[in-house]
Amino acid sequence: MNVLRQHAANLKATAAAGTAQTELMHLTLSTGQKVRSEVEKRPGLLAALPTQYRVLINTAGQMEREVQELAGETPRAAESFDLADVTRTSIIMSEAVAGFCEKYDAAHPQPNI
């Protein structure tokens, strides 16, 4: 299974299990990093992604930094952020970019991806 599809499945399972907010937040916010890592393994894929996915990848990284700063300032500030909405967006982004990675891999077979 593609790393990003597995990440999306983990997000869904964690959200459905009613896991502690901090654990779900950590998993959700790691999406940007995971997506970036998988895309960077594939030369030229980032440039080939539709603009909205490039923006989402960049936005996810910025959001991760901002929420970590908020959580450091006060735990209540991080609670004000809509974790369910961000988790849904993270799942969608993971699954969509996984599809692009799978198409890329099919067209550019490499043994170590």
Q: Give residue 90's pLDDT.
A: 86
State pTM to two decimals: 0.76
Q: Give residue 104's pLDDT.
A: 93
Q: Give residue 73's pLDDT.
A: 57
CA distance 97 to 20: 27
If you ran DSSP here, which 8-state letter would residue 17 be given? T
Q: Which of 2-6, 20-24, 63-67 has the highest mean pLDDT?
A: 2-6
CA distance 34 to 40: 10
Q: Give residue 99's pLDDT.
A: 93
CA distance 88 to 20: 16
- The pLDDT > 70 percentage for the chain reads 84
Band of pLDDT at residue 77, cut at 50, 70 and 90: low
Q: Give residue 76's pLDDT.
A: 56
Each domain of the chain, given as residue ranges in start order, spans 3-107
pLDDT in tens, 35-75: 888 998 999 998 999 998 888 887 777 777 776 776 665 55
